[in-house]
């Protein structure tokens, strides 16, 4: 507002005939804008949860690329977070993202060996469900489309070993 005083604003609201309907441009937000603001708040909160989880369990360290991948997963599934597991908390789902990235690098990583996983209820079963639905989400975006190899039949390709 800068140099404009309170008197200017009172005059704007009370004495201007174009504002008779108690509406000032920019005062109300559209439903779309409110929805986007709510999504951004959720995203920022989830990023904070990620940082808290990493701070809480010191031995659980991520490289900068792994950290970026976890943030990308949170961003990608921000609108569908609860679809990954309806009963799991947001912390549990974020932990599943972290351990997904850790398992890609080292397949010997076990979820049940970590205290933080027991604390937030990330079991092997919950981890498996989240990973399956994560994979399903990726497959929905990039479906596998069967290709036709000329006029050959599938059985012919299998018999001749050309598939």
Q: Is the pLDDT of residue 41 over 90?
A: yes
Average pLDDT value for residue range 123-145: 89
Residue 96's pLDDT band (cuts 50, 70, 90): very high
Q: Say whether pTM exceeds 0.75.
A: no
Average pLDDT value for residue range 106-122: 88
Is-contact 113 101, C-beta < 8 A? no
Domain for residue 94, yes or no? yes
Average pLDDT value for residue range 101-123: 89
Higher pLDDT, 31 or 161: 31
Q: Is the pLDDT of residue 14 over 80?
A: no
Domain for residue 26, yes or no? no
Give pLDDT, residue 33. 79
**Which of the residue ranges 26-30, 92-96, 152-156 would you say has the lowest mean pLDDT?**
152-156
pLDDT single digits (tens) 46-72 = 999 999 999 988 888 899 999 999 999
Place of tokens 């970026």: 68
Give the range of the structural domain holding residue 121, as residue numbers without chain letter. 40-144
Domain for residue 20, yes or no? no
Domain for residue 158, yes or no? no
Domain for residue 74, yes or no? yes
Domain for residue 29, yes or no? no
Domain for residue 22, yes or no? no
66-73 contacts at long range (C-beta below 8 A, 24 or more positions apart): 66/101, 66/102, 66/105, 69/101, 70/94, 70/97, 70/98, 70/101, 71/47, 73/97, 73/100, 73/101, 73/134
What's the number of domains the chain is made of? Answer: 1
Give pLDDT, residue 26. 61
Q: What CATH number did the domain enclosing 99 receive? A: 1.10.472
């Amino acid at each position: 507002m800068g140099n404009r005083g309170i008197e200017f604003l009172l005059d704007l609201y009370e004495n201007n005939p174009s504002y008779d309907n108690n509406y000032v441009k920019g005062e109300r937000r559209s439903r779309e804008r409110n929805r986007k603001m709510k999504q951004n708040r959720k995203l920022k909160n989830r990023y904070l949860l990620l940082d808290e989880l990493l701070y809480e369990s010191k031995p659980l360290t991520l490289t900068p690329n792994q950290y970026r991948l976890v943030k990308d997963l949170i961003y990608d599934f921000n609108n569908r977070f609860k679809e990954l597991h309806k009963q799991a908390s947001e912390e549990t789902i974020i932990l599943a993202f972290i351990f997904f990235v850790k398992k890609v690098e080292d397949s010997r990583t076990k979820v049940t060996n970590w205290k933080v996983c027991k604390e937030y209820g990330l079991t092997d079963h919950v981890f498996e469900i989240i990973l399956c639905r994560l994979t399903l989400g990726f497959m929905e975006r990039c479906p596998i489309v069967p290709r036709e190899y000329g006029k050959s039949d599938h059985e012919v390709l299998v018999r001749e070993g050309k598939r």
